[in-house]
Amino acid sequence: DTGVSQDPRHKITKRGQNVTFRCDPISEHNRLYWYRQTLGQGPEFLTYFQNEAQLEKSRLLSDRFSAERPKGSFSTLEIQRTEQGDSAMYLCASSTTVGELFFGEGSRLTVL
Amino acid sequence: AQSVTQPDIHITVSEGASLELRCNYSYGATPYLFWYVQSPGQGLQLLLKYFSGDTLVQGIKGFEAEFKRSQSSFNLRKPSVHWSDAAEYFCAVGAKEYGNKLVFGAGTILRVKS
């Protein structure tokens, strides 16, 4: 068990560029969650998967955001045409169906 | 709507003093409750959790929390704070009816003075 890993840890991009984050969950976990955290706030739910099915998306997840978990293992979160308001820490977590969430170290996005 | 309130944005305690961080929730289902800790620039580490049963739960690093259904509260306590406890603490609530996704409070920043 190597924990939840996220890549990259830091990303600096210019407004209008596309960025993609990857999350590798704990191997036996069937659920995977994405959260966004801005300075001074708690994490806000974006979306979650059970295996490869995306079961829920928050209203925070605009059309510029897309998440996939193609084989029920790793997941990607893509942001198209980034805006300065997208600057945040993007956290991934995984869990079993009934267990607690285990979080990765996060991917910090800075949009210039 | 589900919500979690952590009324204290900042708390400062002296090393060796006791600590209590407050958490109140509003939730439409039988809640699961959690406390996480976050150091600057890091992810969240689970301190303790409550699913059912004994309402006083023990966690890592000497922390405990008590679930009080009548008060919709889940306050975190530690009898003697160490300088290494300085961090931000988040209370969170979830339920299996909502896919176990968590709703977080805004966090409480703990400062420890020597």
**Other residues' Cβ atoms within 10 Å of the Cβ of residue A39:** 7
Shortest distance between the Cα of B54 and any Cα of chain A, in A, equals 17
Enumerate residues 6+ apart whose C-beta is below 8 A from A52.
A69, A70, A71, A72
Beta strand residue intervals within B1-114, DSSP E: 3-5, 10-14, 19-21, 24-26, 32-38, 44-50, 56-58, 64-68, 73-78, 87-94, 103-104, 108-113
Say whether B100 and A91 touch across the interface (CB within 8 A): no
| Chain B residues touching residue A48 (CB < 8 angstroms) | 99, 101
The partner residues of B25 in beta bridges, in order of sequence, read B4
Instruction: Determine if residue A60 is left, alpha or beta; phi over 0 gives left, psi from -120 to 50 gives alpha, anything else beta.
Output: alpha
How far apart, in whole angstroms, are the C-alpha atoms of residue A47 and residue A59? 9
Q: pLDDT at position B43, please?
A: 87
Residue B52 one-letter amino acid: S
* Other beta carbons within 10 Å of A16: 10
Backbone φ and ψ of A86, nearest 5°: -80, -10
Partner B contacted by A44 (CB < 8 A)? yes
* pLDDT for res A1: 54
pLDDT value at residue A40: 86
pLDDT per residue rounded down to tens, chain B (114 residues): 789 999 999 999 999 999 999 999 998 777 899 999 999 888 899 999 999 899 999 999 999 999 999 999 999 999 999 999 999 999 999 887 777 789 999 999 999 998
Q: Which residue has the tokens 């004994």?
A: B54
Instruction: Inspect the interface and report whether the beta carbons of B44 and A91 lie closer than 8 Å.
Output: yes
Interface of B with A (CB under 8 A): 4, 32, 34, 36, 41-46, 49, 90, 92, 94, 96, 99-107
